[in-house]
Amino acid sequence: MSERRVSDDSRNDSPSSDGRPKGDGPRDAGPKGTGPRNSVPRARSVREPQVSSQIRREVMQLILDRRLRAGAPLPTEAELMESLGVSRNSVREALKALQALDIVEIRHGYGTYVGEASLTPLVDGLTFRTLAQQGDDTGALAEILQIREVLEEGLVRRVAGTLSDAELARLEAVVERMEEAGRAGRPFPELDREFHELLYASLGNALVPQLLGAFWTVFRRVAGVRGWTDDPTPDVTVRRHRDIVIALRAGDVEGAQKAMADHFRGIEARAAQESRGVG
């Protein structure tokens, strides 16, 4: 029995006429010039994302360590290649990924600079997510509106009772411009945005208008793609904004929060009506 087994094994391992073991036939070979199937290509596909991810992290850390501000120049590709010990292609792929996040800005012919790190990628992602809901974008929009509502209800409590007469007068002036635009039959989405930006300006928090503006932009983009009208009931929109100002001028924290909640309930209802074709 042992002799037969040795004979079988030696037959399987014996070289073919071209000197290769018989087990290394076409079944195990990849495309011509690539070597055995799933060997080098698989290793490359796993390593490349890891290298790119590591380079992205190191470039971001470089920006933080050097305290570089938006618009500051970054090291050249050659300098990054040398300091990181990677190829030019790896550096370029990492910089492109960072550019998509607005962390770096690539100016062709001039170099690479620190980006604004804006919320544009968030806006693009949320817009796509909402439009990709396959007929249920109102549900996705409701989620975005709920987040903004929670933010604004909390923020309006902070500013209630702290706004100066001048700040309240500016808010009232925006509401009056809304009313004038509504009577003239003109849409006023930008005035709506201006109202909310002015409302929280006293907080001195630069992220607040950026974050609220991001949600506002997503809503406007989706409305534009779906062909929804700007505002089928401008008088109601004006009244809801005026209610917010009235409560703020009275120093009524609970009333301001309720008026803000009513404002967002109206937006949600309008979005649902528009999606059903009801104006």
Chunk the chain into consecutive blocks of 10 residues (it has 279) and report each block's average pLDDT, rounded to whole numbers. Answer: 41 44 43 42 49 90 95 95 92 94 93 94 91 72 84 94 94 97 91 95 93 90 76 84 96 94 82 54
Q: How many residues in total does the chain contain? A: 279
Which residues are registered as beta bridge partners of 36? 29
Q: d(Cα 166, Cα 223) in Å, to the nearest integer?
A: 34
Spell out the residues 6+ positions from residue 84 whose beta carbon is closer than 8 angstroms to its own. Answer: 55, 58, 91
- State residue 276's pLDDT score: 55
- pTM, two decimals, is 0.69
Q: d(Cα 59, Cα 48) in Å, to the nearest integer?
A: 17
Q: Burial, 99: exposed, middle or buried (Cβ in 10 Å; 0-12, 13-18, 19+)?
A: middle
CB-based burial, 214-242: b 16+ in 10 Å, e otherwise = bbbbbbbbbbeeeebeebebbebbbbbbb
Helices (H) and strands (E) in the chain, counts: 11, 2
